[in-house]
Amino acid sequence: MSAPDYPPPPAPQAAPPAHQLPPKNGLGTAGFVLGLVGLIFSFIPVIGLIAWPLVILGIIFSALGFVRTRSGKATNKGLSIAGLVLSVIGLAMCIVWTVTTAKAVNEINTEANRTVTIHYEVTGTAKEASISYTTIGDGNASSNQDQPQTLPWSKDITTKGLFKGGSLSVTTGADGGEVTCKVVVDGKEAKTAKASGNFATATCDGF
């Protein structure tokens, strides 16, 4: 007795292809854009203040985007690295601007609060001399004249705040002679000049 004929078993069906999720490139792209914009703004005075949050967020988003590329969830590795580099450079520029600005403000405050001593001096052989001197400070100026009986002559003036300069001039009389003017600012000679003859003038300015 022969064995019954059975139909062949059905061929195994191929498994349906797994559904692939789209790459999550948003963080890396956002980090690149923030880093680029922040870097551009970081070179502009005053406006560069808004670069701080941009470059910091750029670093964070670019780093997260790079981590996604390492785990295979994103495909924009190069863009994430570029965003990270741009953000770091922008952050460095922000730090440089902050340090420079703080230094400038400190120098201005120091200059505005310091005391300056100006020493005016006239020497020579002239029997007659007419002296005038001015001092220009921060928001104030003084002008004075003197006719000493004999030389040498000197005058010390103290001013507080930003010292902007002044002048000292001396003119001989009808009898002539020689005169020399000298200006010393905080112990350092700033200007000197000589003149000789009748009604000759020596001027010390531009200091």
Could you give all domains of the chain from N- to C-terminal order, each with its CATH number?
A: 26-111 (no CATH), 114-205 (2.60.40)
Tell me how far apart the alpha carbons of residues 126 and 104 are, in angstroms, rounded to a whole number.
47
Tell me how far apart the alpha carbons of residues 88 and 45 are, in angstroms, rounded to a whole number.
18
pLDDT at site 113 = 75
pLDDT averaged per 10 residues in sequence order, the chain, 207 residues: 61 60 91 95 84 95 95 93 96 92 84 84 94 84 90 90 87 94 94 95 92
b/e burial code for range 32-46 (CB count within 10 A of at least 16 → b): bbbbbbbbebbeeee
